[in-house]
Amino acid sequence: MSDYSIWVCEYSYVKDYHKSGVLYGAHNQGYVKLPYCYVVIKGRDHIAMVDVGYNDKEYGKHLGDKFGVENWRSPKTVLGAIGIKPEEVDTCFITHAHFDHFGNVEDFPNAKFYIQEREIAKWVWAMSLPDRMRWMMIAVDPGDIVRGVDLARDKRLVTVDGSLENVLPGIDLHAAFDSHTYGSMWVTVRNDGKEQSDDIWVLAGDLVYVFENIAGPGGAVDLEEIYTPVGLAVGSQTNLVMATEEMMKQANYEAKRVIPVHEERIKDVFPSRTTSEGLRITEICLADGETSKVTG
Amino acid sequence: MSAHADSQTFNRIVGIHKPDCEMLMRCDPVPEAPLPGEAELVAALGSEQTAEYAMACRSIYEDLRRVIGQLAGLMILARVTRKIEFVELEQVDNCTKRWTDAGARIGALKAPGPVARHKQQIEAAHDFCGRVLKTFPQLSSRTDLDVTFDEMGEHLKQAYQNLSRASSHEAGLVMVDFANACCSCGR
């Protein structure tokens, strides 16, 4: 029995992203394609998203010109490929406040948004620091926080302090403080609804970018594989490794069940297709009675 | 809950270092992220006068960007938690000081003809931030908080919109710092 279907939907990508950004210490090892994706969870009369991407009107030209970000498509187009309208989304889990995860709340007019309280509070704190510490404010747009004020007004923003179970039936939130960002979180889906689930999916946000963050090369320490954290952390790589261990523990150490949304090779692990827009849809699992959106 | 308890709550959330933490104050300055220099600005903006204006404008823009971000974050926390004491924290004092300093520099900013309109947008952003800041101390005496928050939210949006219109990548006036960000492909 599976309660939910889960799809990873690509909405844009960078062709040549330096590998050291996604994998700590991978200097001079070239570039990888970095897809920008969000996750759609459908079932139990809900449609939920993990992150909402960014709004191309605000950033598109700059990102295209300066960083080579290509082929941005709106949620209407991206979700349309799996038969969903943005207006049908009722819940959005924001794993962290970077512009490419929290930058498009306007396209989901009927959704309630969940974010860690600490992600907002530490933003206020970071903004108050001297200019020489400006690095600690990277990739957050004040405009996204301003739009958060509107969400709060409309009672569509919920700030969470740490873990929260059963936000939707069988879906839990888990905090990874001072890791990739100050108040990052990941989402677990217990797809059989059991407290001790045998069918759990971990949606890792940016706590895991690529497979090597979970199964990195361990030859240098005489091990086959070790956790190798992502490169970018305003918190610490230690906290990233600890969060990885916690996620893996929840997944009974089955690495396949920890889903990295920036991983291009996820298409080699799960059924996938490329849409007419040149963007990938990956089907992680299907709820009972749901039809595949990538095959047939 | 008392203001002291709420202050403790905020400090619990933000954790390790406060803005006035001695350890932070002792840190040596680090190089700023690379922005266009004056010569590049002259080339990009067309005249020395305009380039000088843009250079002078940068710190003001940055201050306003931060004031808007801080105010938005504080308003979210206050509204979601229904604890107006959040807005009486020292972070509001920091914000007010930054806003006041920015105002003094705007007053001294010379805006040649082509950028006069730009300066007006900066002034408007500053003015709308001021309206929000000045409402904070009155919150405890307001009976209809939701109405007051709505007004503050509208002013904040106006501030953001004016500052957004005043953004210019050529001039180094950018709302998001993309250096080292998720999108940075290292080109």
State the DSSP code for B38. H
What pLDDT does A143 receive?
A: 87
| Residue from A127, A140, A210, A239 whose CB has the most chain B CBs within 10 Å, to mutate | A127
What pLDDT does A215 receive?
A: 95
Task: Using pLDDT thresholds of 50, 70 and 90, give the confidence band for residue B10.
Answer: low
What pLDDT does B32 receive?
A: 37
Prediction pTM value: 0.86
- Chain A residues in contact with B69 by the CB 8 A cut-off are 123-124, 127, 137, 140, 142, 145
Q: What is the sign, positive or negative, of the torsion defined by CA atoms of A118, B62, B181, B161? A: positive
Closest chain B C-alpha to A278 CA, distance in angstroms: 19
Does the pLDDT of residue B186 top 70, yes or no? no
Which of B14, B80, B186 is closest, CB to CB, to A157?
B80
Task: Using pLDDT thresholds of 50, 70 and 90, give the confidence band for residue B30.
Answer: very low
A243 touches chain B (CB under 8 A): no
Does the pLDDT of residue B23 top 60, yes or no? no
> B153 and A150 in contact by Cβ < 8 A?
yes
What pLDDT does A93 receive?
A: 98
A163 vs B143, residue with greater confidence? A163
> B74 and A142 in contact by Cβ < 8 A?
no
A265 touches chain B (CB under 8 A): no
Which of A17, A62, A157 is closest, CB to CB, to B76?
A157
- Chain B residues in contact with A127 by the CB 8 A cut-off are 66, 69-70, 73
Q: Give the tens place of pLDDT for each residue, A207-231.
A: 999 999 999 988 888 999 999 999 8
A28 touches chain B (CB under 8 A): no
> B13 and A138 in contact by Cβ < 8 A?
no
Does the pLDDT of residue B184 top 80, yes or no? no
Give the Cα separation of A37 and B119 in Å (integer): 38
Among all residues of chain A, which has the CA nearest to that of B160?
A143
Quick one: how far is CA A60 from the chain centroid? 20
Among all residues of chain B, which has the CA nearest to that of A17?
B185
- Chain B residues in contact with A262 by the CB 8 A cut-off are 182
What pLDDT does B15 receive?
A: 54
Give the Cα separation of B58 and A49 in Å (integer): 37
CB B114 within 8 A of CB B50: yes
> B62 and A178 in contact by Cβ < 8 A?
no
Element (H, E) at B157: helix B145-165
CB B119 within 8 A of CB B165: no
Pairing mode, strands A183-190 and A200-203: antiparallel
